[in-house]
Amino acid sequence: MRDDIIITSKPETVGIEPDKEAHVEICFTKDVYEARILDPEAGFEERAVHIEVRTDSFTGSKARVLTHRWRMPQGSEERAVIEKSRQSCPFCPDNLEKMTPKFLPDLIKEGRITHGNAVVVPNAFPYSQHSAVVIMTPEHYVSLNEFESSVLHEAFDAAMVYLRRARAADGGISYASINWNYMPPSGAGMIHPHLQVVAEAKPTLFQERLLTQSLNYHMEKERNYWADLIGHEEQEKARFVGRAGNGAFLTAYAPRGMLGEIIAVFEKARTMEEIGQDGWEGFSKGLTTLLRCFHNMGINSLNMALIGGMDNAGHFWIQARIIPRVSVAPLGVSDVNYFEKGHQEVITVISPEELAQRLREVW
């Protein structure tokens, strides 16, 4: 069975009369398969199992929705691990001055950037020429349900201070991202809450894909894909979560994580600077709500990538991709397996529509 989603909506961008219907294609497709087994838990009665294979041809993402495969996690905080990590944490206030590196004077004259409670230091294991860490708070551990939007807002502001300084020192920087690995299942090497900021002359592979597709869509239809996507999802409601400031939150049709993927699009923000203080404040409040919902769902880890440009690309809107992460009890098995690593297809155990519904309940 195949489900192709094609929508028709009214245009809102250049070159098309506002009262003229335009044919807008949101490139979602779904194949549904049925597998049959003799189930030992039902006395070997025959049972049908359905698998959805979803494709978002715009992003290139492909996911297999296997809602029968696994129950939602029961989150646990490894207190022993957290306490042990506290003993030698370089991001804690007593160790920060002596254990974290400093920027070269020609980039950051004072060596480190202090912005309220947030501190920006060079990444000791850099991912790029311009690679920094934002220590978000003096607290060594903050549970997902304990983050305050003011803490997040301050950390994002600190990241922007660094990006401005880096751009002033290196005019070749055109692309930037603000990233977050929270807790070890996400790949975080440090428990202490921190963001990672990367700035460079070329986009990452995924960012390049989004930029190229956005430009192609704009050139072909004289429209903005992200405006069309938000409009479609808000009208359909199944995957639309809500708004916070100028940010629209929705779940990805073909998620890139076992527990789904949330997209937060900063409407009409074409550069990182255009997000503005109101945009960062709204996003921080929305993100705080997401974190508390994750905690209530038993999720205790996540990845976030907020990607954008330093220069204006009118066809692309800045956005964050938030992916819940989990290790599978009782053996601590990774949520990434051969389908993702070997086939570049993600296995997800909660449908995007169910995830959106859970998020809307607390929005």
Question: What is the separation of C-alpha 334 from the centre of its chain, rounded to a whole number of angstroms?
Answer: 19
Written as six digits, the tokens of 221 are 């239809």
pLDDT in tens, 102-153: 999 999 999 999 999 999 999 999 999 999 999 999 999 999 999 999 999 9
Q: What pLDDT does residue 3 have? A: 47
Banded pLDDT at 167 (limits 50, 70, 90): very high
* Nearest residue to 233 via CA among 265, 202, 209: 265
CB 134 within 8 A of CB 159: yes
Q: What pLDDT does residue 239 have? A: 98
Distances in whole angstroms, Cα of residue 49 to Cα of each of 139, 189, 255: 46, 38, 21
- pLDDT top residue among 282 and 7: 282
Residue 177 pairs in a beta bridge with: 198, 307
β 22-39/2-9 pair status: antiparallel
Q: Domains of the chain (ranges plus CATH)?
A: 79-327+351-360 (3.30.428.10)
Written as six digits, the tokens of 258 are 């076992």
Q: What share of the chain is helix, strand, coil (3-state, %, to 5)?
A: 30, 30, 40
Choice among 18-27, 39-48, 151-160, 203-212 with the minimum mean pLDDT: 18-27
